[in-house]
Structure 1
């Protein structure tokens, strides 16, 4: 039986498409401060944005990886290979590509933060830290068991740009993220394959055609 082409997006195409979307999220999460003006923003909005965006970007990577794994389809059916195995392989590949592309863009963005835009980030940290600390300590006062008070120096250190030495950690995170998201994609592909067991049995009419 000859290999038969399938319609629909293949894993490379899907993985690269959603990978670049994840890369756009990565760029935004690294340089969103260019869109913010600490002097005109209210304290709680500034504190919420600076804390929410890193978490939202991670959630977006996972969501886009899952979406890629769901949309990927084998472009060719290999004779003798179960269709569910092809789904598992291609879904894992698509999801891993999302993490890899986003990770590579993340590495470049981190390098730019540590060099070209380091002064801009420091200026943002200097302007934003007092307002964020003011809001955090205001909320802290309303708690029955409040944590230690925040201080401006500590907040400025948190908002400081990364150093070039942090690129090693970013590369490691990219490798780990690629493996984890690829494994998640494989699980999704395996679950999709459970509903395609009938595809493993070749159709005689199709072979004759």
Structure 2
């Protein structure tokens, strides 16, 4: 597939990941979920989502194939361009989706998100305290108010940070796509070089019979240039 179709397809997959990572509070009942699960989700969901976006962008770069061949432009250059374009398009699609989600969290979804934060904070603190009792030198204790503040819905001012993350994410996935394009182009160049390289049998024949002339009408010529003397 071309870079646009590939980027859009994998961008939709990335949007699904973003929905699961940022709207999880609509799916989870914090009051009935174990504290360790809530702690793991809140600690690693952003990192795991970014890693998933990177993997999806790399897959998009691996799956894309140049559809339009420009005259005078090498296939390796087209491959580099289209791989970068496909991965960047994934970042653009998921970035727009994340900005919309932040806006929704700050407006219409602020109530459910605040309820989730209020229910999840005490359970996370209880798990952290239970975990700290197992160590002789526990970390500095945290309060439920601190956890609830971290889980609270964003404000409209957070849209600026979302736009900054959008740009950084596009740069990251674009660079990853470019690296994939370079590696694919290098592999293609090696394959073409191997195809042009003579086989060992051909090389041995050339060394053993350096001269070879076409057969005449009335006699054949040997490989060393001498006439065989076979005549009709």
Determine the structure 1 residue equivalent to 2:84.
92
Say yes or no: does 1:72 pair with 2:46: no
Q: CA deviation at 1:191?
A: 0.6
- Pairs aligned (count): 192
Determine the structure 1 residue equivalent to 2:132.
140
Q: CA deviation at 1:53?
A: 2.0
Question: What is the CA–CA distance in structure 2 between the aligned matches of 1:20 and 1:29, rounded to whole Å?
Answer: 14
Please say if residues 83 and 199 of structure 1, whose CA atoms lie closer than 8 Å, have aligned partners that are also in contact: no
Q: Where do 1:9-28 residues align within 5 Å?
A: 9-28=1-20
Instruction: Name stretches of at least 5 consecutive residues in structure 1 with no aligned partner.
Output: 1-8, 201-209
Determine the structure 2 residue equivalent to 1:106.
98
Q: Equivalent of 1:188, from 180, 184, 208?
A: 180
RMSD, aligned α-carbons: 1.5
Q: Equivalent of 1:61, from 53, 64, 88?
A: 53
Question: What is the CA–CA distance in structure 2 between the aligned matches of 1:39 and 1:105, rounded to whole Å?
Answer: 28
Q: Equivalent of 2:119, from 108, 115, 127?
A: 127
Instruction: Name stretches of at least 5 consecutive residues in structure 2 with no aligned partner.
Output: 194-232
Higher relative contact order at CA 8 Å, sep ≥6: structure 1 or structure 2? Answer: 1
Please say if residues 83 and 196 of structure 1, whose CA atoms lie closer than 8 Å, have aligned partners that are also in contact: no
Please say if residues 26 and 102 of structure 1, whose CA atoms lie closer than 8 Å, have aligned partners that are also in contact: yes
Q: CA deviation at 1:137?
A: 1.5
Question: What is the CA–CA distance in structure 2 between the aligned matches of 1:46 and 1:184, rounded to whole Å?
Answer: 32
Question: What is the CA–CA distance in structure 1 between the aligned matches of 2:120 and 2:18, rounded to whole Å?
Answer: 21
Larger of the two Rg values belongs to structure: 2
Point out 4+ residue stretches in structure 1 off by more than 3 angstroms.
Answer: none
Q: Equivalent of 1:179, from 155, 171, 176?
A: 171
Q: CA deviation at 1:46?
A: 2.0
Normalised by the length of structure 2, the TM-score is: 0.79
Determine the structure 1 residue equivalent to 2:33.
41
